[in-house]
Amino acid sequence: MSDPATARARDVPKEGAALHPDAVYRINVDTDGDHQADVAFSFVFSPPRDGRRTVSVYRATGQQARDHEAAGEEIITDAPVASGAEPHVVTAGPYQFSAALRSDPFFADLEGIANQFQWTGKDWGADKNVFSMALEMPSSELGPDPAIGVWGRVSLRTDGELKSVDRGAHPSLTAYFNPESSAKTAYNEGEPAQDRHTYLRQWTEVLQHTGGYDPAAAEETLRTVLPDILRLDRSRPAAYPNGRHAHRRHHLRPADHGLRRQDHQRPHRPAHRPVGPVPLPGDPARRTGEPLTGPSRTGDGPRADTARASTTLGPDRKTPTEGKTLTDYRDGVVVYWRPLCPFCIKLRLRLRLARLPRTEVNIWRDPDAAAFVRLVADGNETVPTVTVAGNAMINPSMREIREAVRQHAPHLLKPTR
């Protein structure tokens, strides 16, 4: 198929077993920018029978797409759910579909989060599998406009009533902004179209309190993720927040490594990894053709002016230095971050309290910096990434940053007048 669109969903299985047979798992698609579902794909699983289960997929449009029930046309009927190393790929008309138990690709140091963001390097998901669903179709199935919005929802039938028990699009959004159970319940039952009205003001206060944002910066940041819909312009390369980049190949064919390579074992990856000296964005080596790994966030478009996305901060938080690129600060500390990253918020706050001079770079506003982070982080945009005199560290602790400064940039530890 040419010009395919692929929708994916995932869910961590409870001990033992299967996705709930009384639940409706759904991917919603907004095709006209009104923050409401225009197309919806619902996944309904059978109860386990002799250790096997199946799933049927429904496609709804119009008003049916805005109802949480599994409605519309049944496009996949009783597809087998794979629980072993080999996937089952089903073809039905223009659709290809697979539901399978795969290894969880995300690193989560939950112990470190609970321990005031002091990282342990232990991956909670290292021994976990997730139920994954992938549905591929021609892009025309999602309308002619290349700009769409996508979010997921899980509804569970209890006492004869279907209730929404989970929804979201941006990673970990409600987990950090809605820590109380009652707040999460209200959020899960809500609709994205009401998100800005309901949450913009109170979440702005959260960012001001925890991240040191001023009100204008907090509101600008939150407008990226509210409403909680993942926007994708299909005419541009996918890289968050323009969709999510798929690290595997997109096509779902039985011989495709996009499914076969996701086995149940994977190498352990620590939360922090020193990388060593690397060329910073703007270095002469970069300008003479040194290759970067990982996909470009901006295609073949012009490079962004790095000075616009860089902020130079001294102990007294002086006005950002104008007209300089990151190379001008290669003897100092550079922090690569993105809005709403809780790890970035914590680290930037601690650096401020430590009164350590530094340059902070928002990779969402600087494609060159985003490419640099991918270079040192195995093709991923993992933040915070910190360089000290050109030595890069992925997700470091304050102790590790201080040690790197003592070793590579001791002049920064001297009192600043």
pLDDT tens digit sequence for 187-234? 999 999 999 999 998 888 878 776 667 888 888 888 889 999 999 999
CA 146 distance to own-chain centroid: 21
Cα–Cα distance for residue pair 180/202, rounded to 1 Å: 14
CATH number for the domain whose boundaries are 273-413: 3.40.30.10
Nearest-angstrom CA–CA distance, 38 and 28: 8
pLDDT at 9 over 70: no
Burial 154-166 (b: 16+ CB within 10 A, else e): bbeeeeeebebbb
Kindly provide the b/e burial profile for residues 111-138, where b requires at least 16 CB atoms within 10 angstroms of the residue's own CB: ebbeeebebeeebebeeebbbbbbbbbe
Q: Does residue 322 surpass a pLDDT of 80?
A: no
pTM above 0.75, yes or no: no
Reported as half-sphere exposure (CB side, CA atoms, 13 A), residue 109 has a value of 18
Contact 339, 364 (CB under 8 A): yes
Q: What is the pLDDT of residues 324-379, one digit of tens each?
A: 444 445 678 999 998 777 788 888 888 888 888 889 898 888 888 888 898 888 88
Distances (CA, A) of 399 to 140, 394, 402: 52, 13, 5
Tokens of 223: 């407008």
The residue-averaged pLDDT of 117-135 equals: 79
- The DSSP secondary-structure symbol of 295 reads -
Strands 95-103 and 129-138: antiparallel
Backbone angles phi, psi at 34, to 5 degrees: -95, 10
pLDDT at 100 over 60: yes
Position 174 pLDDT exceeds 90: no
pLDDT at 164 over 60: yes
> In the predicted model, what is the mean pLDDT of residues 90-115?
80
pLDDT tops 70 at residue 254: no
Q: Give 68 or 317, the one with higher predicted confidence.
A: 68
In 159-247, at which residue ranges do the beta strands (DSSP E only) sit? 161-168, 230-233
Give ranges for CATH 3.40.30.10 in the chain. 273-413
**For the segment 25-35, what is each residue's pLDDT rounded down to a tens digit?**
999 999 999 99
Tell me which residue of 55, 69, 72 sits closest to 135, measured CA to CA: 55
Alpha-carbon gap, residue 133 to 216, rounded angstroms: 39
Query: Residue 155 forms beta bridges with which residues?
Result: 24, 164
> 400: which residues sit within 8 A by CB, 6+ positions away?
272, 274, 393
